[in-house]
Each structure stands twice: as C-alpha cells, then as structure tokens.
Structure 1
C-alpha cells in the first residue's frame, strides 16, 4: 500500500516537472541581444546627415567601437547638444556622440569616455565685411587727422598774410592791396604751392616774397608728408580695430553661436552680445546678411563650412582658443563607459583610429 502511494507520488512529480519544462521557452544559452540607442546630431565633419543616413568621423569611430564590442545599435537624431545630454540623462538614449565637449558641469550629470578628439573654438567672419567703405571714410575724420588739418590751415593763413604783406606793393596785380581780396589771392597761392601743384598764376615778384616762398615750399613738403602718414596710420588702425581678427576683438560685438554650448558660455563670460541659433547653419546665414558680426563655434565645424558651403563668403580668422576635448557620453555609473574606453584604446593601438581620422581630416 505504502509502496503504491510512493510510486504514485513519484509519477505526479515527474508529470509536474515535464509540464513545467514544456511550458518554459526553449533555452538558447544567450539572453536576447540588446540594441543600444545612440543619440547624435549634425556636427560636420564629425557628424553629417543626408536623407536619414549618418556619416562622419564620429560616426565611423562609433561604428568601429560597436563592432569591437559586438553590440547592435540604432541612431536617435537630435538637433542640439543639450538634447543629446538630456537624452542620455533621461534614459532615452544609452550613448551620445557627435562633438560633445567634456566639461566639469556635464561630468557632474553624466559619465564620459576618454577624449577621442581635441579641438577648440574659432571665429568666423563674413569675407566682404573685413572692412567697410563707410568705416574708412569716417576714419578720415579721426581726431589725429583733424588736428593735422588744423595745423595746415593755420600755416596756410600765416604764410598767406606774410606773402601778401610784402607783395602788395611789389606785385599788386597778383596780390591786391585790399585786405580781403589780397589775402584771398595769397591763400590761393599758399595752397597750390603747399600741394606742389603750382599753377603759376600767382608768383611772388619781390625778393622778400620769393624768400618766403622758398621757405614755404620746404615747410609744405614736411606738412604734406606728415598729413599723408597720419591718414595712412588712421586707416590702418581702423582696419585693425574695426574688423574682427580673433577672439580678442569679440567683447562688445554681436556674435552668433549655438545654444547650450561651450561657445555660448565663453561669449557670455567675455562680454560679447550673444545671439543663439539652432541649427548653427542659421548663424551662418545671419553672418552673411550682416545680422551678426561674427560666429564662434567649434573649429572643425567652422572650417568645414568655410571650405564647402560658405566658400568665398566667409572666412575663419584668428587662433584656436578655449581648448575642447570631445568624448562619448553615457549615463552615470553605466558599465558601457569602461567598455568604450577599452575599445578606444584598442583602436589607438591598432592604428584603426588613425585610419578613421585621416579619412576625414587629411588634406
């Protein structure tokens, strides 16, 4: 009896085990492969987008990292850098890559890979706006030039009065005795002699008058040379100070850039009037129209635009400033960070990184 019950119990256990086995999904030895969501944005030549297809240096680099890690991924397109950071922070994306500068503020919110590209900010201006005709005309009325003109006017009046005083008796036909008529004719003679034109319609006849004329000719040469040097100097200063040649010329200027970027922060901290554009291509259009005086942004992006779509219309000027280190952003504490770092180091050692870099940046 007991033996029969024992056998019956074992049979029930075996049946239950078989049912559980049949109810469970077949074991494959692998968990379902995860697809990473990678956020990016146009950032030429690091990231370019055409008809939904992404390309560029950062894109090729991530392709190599993903292949090395053996992971699948899908792109999540964004328009602004801040949107990339927000996507990773909220969990909408697992990774973000474009041209994301590593900063202390961003590092407090997210984790970053080792830097994979070093760059900086640069200034772009409209080529035709390096100097305006109106600005050069206004430069002719600078205090320095007006001061020299004042000295010349006084010298002309003094020389005219002296010549008239001696020539009104010796040569009354050319320098009449009447004060206003005589001095006016003397002023005419003084000006044409000063300018070395020398029409010859008025010439001193007396010895004192001719001696004065000789002295006035030499004085005139000095005054004309001094005036020429002053005008040249004023125009040169206007071109140097009136134009924008680098970051030192930006305080007080209206400058375009992209919102939420290190460029926007730098401009605000350094006294520029900032106008933000998204996408950055809108800033390029504003620059050409004259709505902004310059655009400040990451150097590779500006250089790419200046040599392609903006060729002949814009010019990148001045040195690199505000060093930028680009990294791959992941969530705080993400295990992907260490894996990505190891992959980047491997790409460096195998020279694959160099090959990808040369593909996009070698002249």
Structure 2
C-alpha cells in the first residue's frame, strides 16, 4: 500500500509540468505555468487555413491565427499556454455555448451578431471591420475608343496646348522687344510669318509635324530650347503609360452595382438574407458552403453564368479578386459588420478585457492593417488591379514642375530682351550674341553686299582687264 501515495504524487507532478487542459479555470487575463487553453478555429479563407481535426501549430495560417498569436503575446501568453484546434465553423459556434464543449475561445473572424450574444457568446473588441461585397465574373476585355487619351489626365492635355500657345506668343513678343527690325524682316520673307506661324510651330512640334521654330535673338532661343525639352519628357511619359495601359487587364463588366442585379439571378450568404431583404434586395440563390469544395462549386456557378453576381463577405471578395483574375469586385462593401475573438459564455470579464486591450494595441500600431494586406488583400499577385490604367495616368501635379520651368524661362527671356534693348551695353550685346543684322533677309542682304564688293574690286583691278 506504500506504493499508492508515491504513484499519486508522481501523477500530480506530471500533470503540473505537462499542463492542465481545462475550460477557463478562473482565468483573469494572466497565465500560470499549469494552464493550457483550447483555442478553436475553422477553415475559412482567407481568414483561416487549417485542417479539420488537426491541432499541430504548423497547420494553422491566415489572418485570424496570426492576429490571435500577436494578441496573446501582448497579454503575456506563451505558445505552450494554448493549443489551436481546427473544427467546422458550425461545430465551433455550437461549442462556444455548450457546457460540455472544449473551446475556451475561438479565433476565426466570427461576426458579432445579436443572436450570438444572446446565446451567451462573448466577444472582444472587433479586430476586423468589414461587410458584404459584390463580386462578378469578368468575361472579357473592355474596349474603349478613347483609350489613347488615358495616359494623361485631361488637365495635362489642356495645359499642353495652352503652353504651345504661350510659347508661340511669348517668342514673338521677345523677338519684337529684342530686335524689332529683324522681326519685321521675318514678316516680309515668310509665307505665314509672325505670331500665327510661331504658335503653329510650337503646337505642331508636340507631334513632330513642323520644322523647328525660327528665332533670331538669344532670349527667344532659350524659350524654344526649354519647350523642346518639355516635349521630350512628355512624349517619353506618354509612350510608357500608353504601353502599360494597353497591356493592362481591362475587364468588361455589365454589373456596376447591386441594383443592376434586380430581376436577374444572383446569390448571397444564407445568414444574410434578412439584411438583404431589409435593404430591398432579393437574392435568388442562397449559399452556405461548409468546405473548400462547396465554396468552389459556388464560384463555378458564377463562372458558368448560373448566377450573375455573388454578395459575400468583403474579406473573401477582396482575397478572391486579388488572387483570381477572372473575378472582379464591384464597388465597396454594401453592408457593415464586425468580426472579433469569441469566448465561451463563462469567460471572465478580465480575460475578455485583456484581449480587447491587446487588439486595440495592434490596431494603433498598424499591425492589423499589415495582417490585412498580407492575408486578405495581397498586392503581390499576377492579377493587376482593374483600375491600374487610371492609377498610371499622369496627373497635372506630377508634371506641374515642367510648366513652372517654362513660365520662369519665358519671364527670364522677356527680362533679357528688355535689358538688351534698353540698356545699350555693348558687352551685354556680345554676351547675348545679338548681331546688328540677323535673319533670312539680313543674310541675303549680306551676301548681296559681299558680291557687289567683289565686283567693284574686280573692276578697279587693272589686271582684270588682261584676263582673256
């Protein structure tokens, strides 16, 4: 009989060191070495990925398990203070109200609903604010006859042609101010000279449909140089954006809102039918998939056209449209709800408050946003966002610096022209390289004068008379 006390003492020691799996044994938000809590979850993409009936820590991933682990760490729990168990979604919810269940708490982005609170389930502070979103099947590519205008915002197009007008007018004014006679001679020799010709040349240079602008003074040549540089940069931007937009996936969807589904066949989650009817929406097919195969069958009905739209959890819609190119999200969430950690009905208030505080900490430090981007709406995907073309569009703010440089150049050139005309400083004229006679007609006059001078020299030269 002396062996019995020894055996009992050994069993007590073993149970102390291995942990006691119990249903919240006086939990108050702290953990002792002998407490092990059972945290239930359910496979629910993209929130949870697990294998039903499995409890290996390596087989759990997704938004909810990662969020729980970080919150538990803030509370002070160690990995050996809890175990994750994968159940079906329905079994997990039933267990939270079952006195003989095993779940101390559950992490599966469970929606906070009045009927669940009335049943005794307790919730922490919401860690995910979502709702129901509309998803459609994108069957083809969108055609747009005005797609060639998409690389630039309309303001950029407007200022581009206004700048051409400003360059032509300012170049003409600078020419007149700096050298009136030279400017007048241009009018005499050109077919359509003057400000009209310069404005046309400035505008046509945008598409390389005109000869280079003619200028005779240094200040006006500065304006032309900067204008040519601006065109060079804008052409490069247009070419790059046009190539990106033409190769981007532009899906063609006829459904632009849930109102477009009225009178058509469309589906929704069975448990949301009340709020659907409350908003005046009448889904024709109700779904409640319990596993991955049933979820895929639901999506295939969307692909085959059996239903033309699917209203489902926004997180699932974001994840599906980000990872599967054939589906497209329409608009934002059309309803609102919150998801949170759930606790067995007998959980202490201090435990629930401890996790609520931890989740608030994760929210304030942007950890929840990070988890959302990683697991629910991944950006590193082969599917480009359908609005990629619009996002790549060059806006005026992005290139406004070019117009600032052009305006400053015009102002400086005008100042140089005024100084060159009124200062009458010989060294300044040399710096600006303003000759006393320039232009096409000036060149002709100079050649004529040189020819006459040579003729006079030949006549005055007596040797010339003896040339046979």
Give the TM interval when normalised to the shorter protein. Answer: 0.5 to 0.7
Q: How big is the shift at 1:55?
A: 1.1
Aligned with 1:286 (options 287, 290, 301): 301
Correspondence 1:329 to 2:342: yes
Determine if contact 2:63/2:372 at 8 Å carries over to the other structure.
yes
Aligned with 1:85 (options 89, 93, 101): 93
Residues 111 and 276 of structure 1: is their aligned pair in 2 closer, same or farther, counting only changes over 3 Å? same
Match of 1:102 in 2: 112
Correspondence 1:256 to 2:264: no
SS in 2 for 1:291: coil
Match of 2:333 in 1: 320
Q: Tell me, which stretches of 5 or more residues in structure 2 are unaligned?
A: 21-33, 143-252, 380-468
Per-residue CA deviation, residues 244-296 of structure 1 (Å, 9 max, x unaligned), is 32223344433223443x3x433344322232141433211111011112111
Match of 2:9 in 1: 25
SS in 2 for 1:97: strand
Counterparts of 2:141 and 2:268, CA distance in 1: 19
Residues 299 and 130 of structure 1: is their aligned pair in 2 closer, same or farther, counting only changes over 3 Å? farther
Per-residue CA deviation, residues 168-227 of structure 1 (Å, 9 max, x unaligned), is xxxxxxxxxxxxxxxxxxxxxxxxxxxxxxxxxxxxxxxxxxxxxxxxxxxxxxxxxxxx
Counterparts of 1:59 and 1:50, CA distance in 2: 13
TM-score (norm 2): 0.43
SS in 2 for 1:43: coil
Aligned with 2:314 (options 282, 293, 299): 299
Per-residue CA deviation, residues 43-100 of structure 1 (Å, 9 max, x unaligned), is 333223479622111111112233432322122231x4x4432232222422222232
Counterparts of 2:361 and 2:331, CA distance in 1: 35
Counterparts of 1:274 and 1:266, CA distance in 2: 15
Residues 346 and 304 of structure 1: is their aligned pair in 2 closer, same or farther, counting only changes over 3 Å? closer
Q: How big is the shift at 1:119?
A: 1.3
SS in 2 for 1:46: coil
How many residues get paired?
A: 231
Per-residue CA deviation, residues 127-168 of structure 1 (Å, 9 max, x unaligned), is 12999xxxxxxxxxxxxxxxxxxxxxxxxxxxxxxxxxxxxx
Determine if contact 1:102/1:326 at 8 Å carries over to the other structure.
yes
Counterparts of 2:140 and 2:102, CA distance in 1: 44
Aligned with 2:84 (options 69, 74, 80): 74
Residues 303 and 362 of structure 1: is their aligned pair in 2 closer, same or farther, counting only changes over 3 Å? closer
Q: How big is the shift at 1:346?
A: 4.1
Determine if contact 1:257/1:280 at 8 Å carries over to the other structure.
no
Counterparts of 1:92 and 1:303, CA distance in 2: 33
Per-residue CA deviation, residues 294-318 of structure 1 (Å, 9 max, x unaligned), is 111111211211221x31x221112
TM-score (norm 1): 0.54
Determine if contact 1:118/1:325 at 8 Å carries over to the other structure.
yes
Q: After alignment, is 24-33 or 331-340 more displaced?
A: 24-33
Determine if contact 1:35/1:74 at 8 Å carries over to the other structure.
no
Determine if contact 1:252/1:273 at 8 Å carries over to the other structure.
no
Q: Tell me, which stretches of 5 or more residues in structure 1 are unaligned?
A: 1-15, 132-241
Residues 273 and 86 of structure 1: is their aligned pair in 2 closer, same or farther, counting only changes over 3 Å? same
Q: How big is the shift at 1:323?
A: 0.8
Determine if contact 1:37/1:73 at 8 Å carries over to the other structure.
yes
Q: How big is the shift at 1:355?
A: 4.7
